[in-house]
Structure 1
Amino acid sequence: MAIKYYVFIFFLSIPLPFFAQNKTVVVKNGVPQFSIIVPVDSAAIERRAAVLLQSTIKKMAGCELNILNGIQSSTQKSIYIIPSSSINELINSEKTVLQTNQLKKHFNVDFESKRKLLIEDAFLISTQADNILIVSGGKKGSIYGVVHLLEKYLGCRMYAPNEELIPQRATITLPLLCELEKPVNTIRIVNGDMTQQNQQYRDWHRLNDHNEEFAKGFYVHTFNRLVPWETYFEKHPEYFALMGNKRIIDQLCLTNPDVYDLTVKTLNEEMTKQPEKKIVVCKSS
């Protein structure tokens, strides 16, 4: 019993500032303690992530965190929403000695080992008392990083496009952490009105719009785009499947070598027109 008694007294004697050092205060009594910074040449996705964070904090605490453009000195503590490729710019930018020393707290072995694992849609979040890094591996990594913070640590939810849960609090804090998350699946599509028509809902649920990922016109049912029956059926009915004793227009004859050659030719042409797209579907009607 004596041992338990003394351990209990020890924890009671720890000063309160000790615990305060283990969290980051983003908003204190309705007053912003941080600004949000995105690089000058950042993609639209980083700016959208910044606006999402800003607007949700405003709903929670009734105050607005400023969004600043550029890796720059700030009179406030800063939340950096940046791609991994901008880390060196952040380190080498013209800052005060104090700011540089504060940022260097992030760049330890744990942070760098996790940063090497970043892939598209992945993110790395590192928090310190004076600044927060939301580092994207590419594509929607910055958006997903912001959503992760809002959901896991601040209790926010989006159940449907018009149904969200935003806790009300005058003071917003985050724990000190260095957290990596990367997707198991690179494409996550759920068809339906909620996902196809509402970008913010997709963001919160880490979903893709097929128009973002697939070549235009080549998502599903693409055989007629590859070998259009309107162009070939009359002169080359053998390009199309034989059902019973009749050639049909909505299915190609996949054993015909000319069909293969036409398909490859069309795909090459379309992929040249849409070099930014990585996925083209070859699928029957």
Structure 2
Amino acid sequence: MKKITLFIAAAALFIAADVSAQMTMVRDGKVKSRIIVTTDQKPDSVAAVLLQDFVQRISGAVLPVVPADEVGKFLRKGDVLIGNGMTDTLYDVSESQEGEKVLKEDGFRLLTGDGRLRIAGGGDKGSIYGVVTLLEKYLGVSYWGENEYSLTKSKDVVLPEIDEIDNPAFRYRQSQFYGMRNDPVYKLWMRLEEPAEMFAGSYWVHTFDKLMPSSRYGVEHPEYYSYFGGKRHPGKASQWCLSNPEVFEIVCERIDSIFKANPGRNMISVSQNDGNYTNCQCDACKAIDEYEGALSGSVIHFLNKLAARFPDKEFSTLAYLYTMQPPK
């Protein structure tokens, strides 16, 4: 009998501890939480509205969205804080003890403590993706397609104890699903972006001729363009002679001007024109490709030089046609 009594007591303690770690947002259809937007950043406001919308769809209750300046320092249990403002020791997620950045761009942290929930972002859409994960993983919402979702309605919305950090494996994610243009929630839910939102000057895929127009350089400098079949091939659909140092400097100058004309955009595509086996086969380019074991070798070699010249920028290219095989 003593063993049974101890077991029941231990179970009761376990249940009590579990309940105390929960956070109630809605109880019996009545609001128990406020959504506090702690910054003036647009993604944090979007995240707040998204959370408010789906909690209402689940429970019928409308959580108030309140800016931080209306709250002051008086927080209460049930508050949901979105953004990186109003931080304290418990919620400071900017750096690890080793001084490394914990949250990357588009990353987020979900953290409950003291009866409140913090949704912190690492920049750009991090707080939005934090809300999406909260809805999907902890509140049972699934989003399937354009304006298609499922959820279980309930008069109670209760969160368990949460401490979760997530950083994206890829900085840019795109789909050719055109329905996302008619449904902004689907786009956010799937963490998708469009080229015009990310790439400086909308320089995205097949950019060789846009960056170094053959109409400007082709006649006087055919040596800037691919050599194959016994001659150079300057033209709108031609590739570059990627081993030519003058080509590299011209492209660097052009890229620098594009970034300066598009402040806040730190990504650009430097990628081949459309066309298969039109790559440069001059002795220097061919030597790079042979050393790397793939026709993509000279392209990656060129991109690495650009990355060294612009260390604070991000570059993308294409694994396409003759560049599909990666270098060794």
TM-score range, shorter chain: 0.7 to 0.9
Alignment of 1:119-268 (within 5 A): 119-128=104-113, 130-195=115-180, 198-244=183-229, 245=231, 247-249=233-235, 250-254=237-241, 255-268=243-256
Name structure 1 gaps, 5 residues minimum: 92-103
Partner of residue 32, structure 1:
31
In structure 2, distance between residues paired with 1:15 and 1:264? 62
Q: For the Cα contact (< 8 Å) 1:118–1:182, is it kept in 2?
A: yes
Out of 42, 45, 48, which is 1:44 matched to? Answer: 42
In structure 2, distance between residues paired with 1:82 and 1:12? 37
- Partner SS state of residue 46, structure 2: helix
Distance 1:207 1:7, change over 3 A: farther
Structure 1 counterpart of 2:146, one-letter code: P
Structure 1 counterpart of 2:259, one-letter code: M
- Partner SS state of residue 169, structure 1: coil
In structure 2, distance between residues paired with 1:209 and 1:79? 30
Residues 169-199 of structure 1: per-residue CA shift (max 9 Å, x gap): 1101001222222223333333332456643
Distance 1:56 1:146, change over 3 A: same
Q: For the Cα contact (< 8 Å) 1:23–1:129, is it kept in 2?
A: no
Q: Which moved more, 1:114-123 or 1:254-263?
A: 114-123
Give % identity.
Answer: 27
Q: For the Cα contact (< 8 Å) 1:77–1:131, is it kept in 2?
A: yes
- Partner SS state of residue 176, structure 1: coil
In structure 2, distance between residues paired with 1:230 and 1:15? 74
Distance 1:275 1:15, change over 3 A: closer
- Partner SS state of residue 144, structure 2: strand
Partner of residue 99, structure 1:
none
Q: For the Cα contact (< 8 Å) 1:125–1:134, is it kept in 2?
A: yes
- Partner SS state of residue 252, structure 1: coil
Q: Which moved more, 1:245-254 or 1:44-53?
A: 245-254
Q: CA deviation at 1:75?
A: 7.4
Q: For the Cα contact (< 8 Å) 2:52–2:63, is it kept in 1?
A: yes
Q: CA deviation at 1:164?
A: 0.5
Is the aligned partner of 1:54 residue 2:55? no
Q: For the Cα contact (< 8 Å) 2:83–2:120, is it kept in 1?
A: yes
Name structure 2 gaps, 5 residues minimum: 274-328
Instruction: Give TM-score scaled by structure 1 length.
Output: 0.80
Residues 74-120 of structure 1: per-residue CA shift (max 9 Å, x gap): 6774111012xx244xx4xxxxxxxxxxxx7x4599x9769962222
Alignment of 1:75-86 (within 5 A): 77-83=78-84, 86=85
- Partner SS state of residue 140, structure 2: coil
In structure 2, distance between residues paired with 1:116 and 1:270? 28
Which one has a larger percent strand, Structure 1 or Structure 2? 1
Q: For the Cα contact (< 8 Å) 2:214–2:234, is it kept in 1?
A: no
- Partner SS state of residue 269, structure 2: coil
Q: CA deviation at 1:45?
A: 0.2
Q: CA deviation at 1:18?
A: 5.6
Structure 2 counterpart of 1:21, one-letter code: S
Q: For the Cα contact (< 8 Å) 1:35–1:76, is it kept in 2?
A: no
Partner of residue 65, structure 2:
67
Q: CA deviation at 1:64?
A: 0.5
Cα root mean square deviation, aligned: 3.1
Q: For the Cα contact (< 8 Å) 1:26–1:174, is it kept in 2?
A: yes
- Partner SS state of residue 83, structure 2: strand
Q: CA deviation at 1:61?
A: 0.6
Instruction: Give TM-score scaled by structure 2 length.
Output: 0.70
In structure 2, distance between residues paired with 1:21 and 1:148? 23
Structure 2 counterpart of 1:279, one-letter code: M
Q: For the Cα contact (< 8 Å) 1:53–1:146, is it kept in 2?
A: yes
Structure 1 counterpart of 2:82, one-letter code: I
Q: For the Cα contact (< 8 Å) 2:22–2:159, is it kept in 1?
A: yes
- Partner SS state of residue 155, structure 2: coil
- Partner SS state of residue 21, structure 1: helix
